[in-house]
Amino acid sequence: MKTFEYTITDELGIHARPAGMLVKEASKFASKIMIASPKKEVDAKRIMGVMSMGAKKGDTVKLTIEGTDEAEAAASLEKFLQDNL
């Protein structure tokens, strides 16, 4: 299992466009990917779940990745967050 944390820097937090992009990126992997905000934890492959977290600028989210391609998924998602959120 791989885990990492990321602090949101986007002014609008995780809003519709980056949430959709995050789900699309997470869906490329077979591993189970969960994302947790200070308020709740959801499946990173479900758009409604990701948007319902209400993650704002300054919030720290924690991703937990477990499965056969977890190392590749963790590296890809960490880069995605740095580039987009």
Q: What is the pTM of this model?
A: 0.89
**Secondary structure class of 9 (helix, strand, coil):** coil
Chain position carrying tokens 């998924």: 73
pLDDT at site 39: 86
Residues with catalytic function: 15
User: Tens digit of pLDDT for each residue in 2-50?
Assistant: 999 999 999 998 999 999 999 999 999 999 999 999 889 999 999 999 9
d(CA 34, CA 45): 8
User: Tens digit of pLDDT for each residue in 62-79?
Assistant: 999 999 999 999 999 999
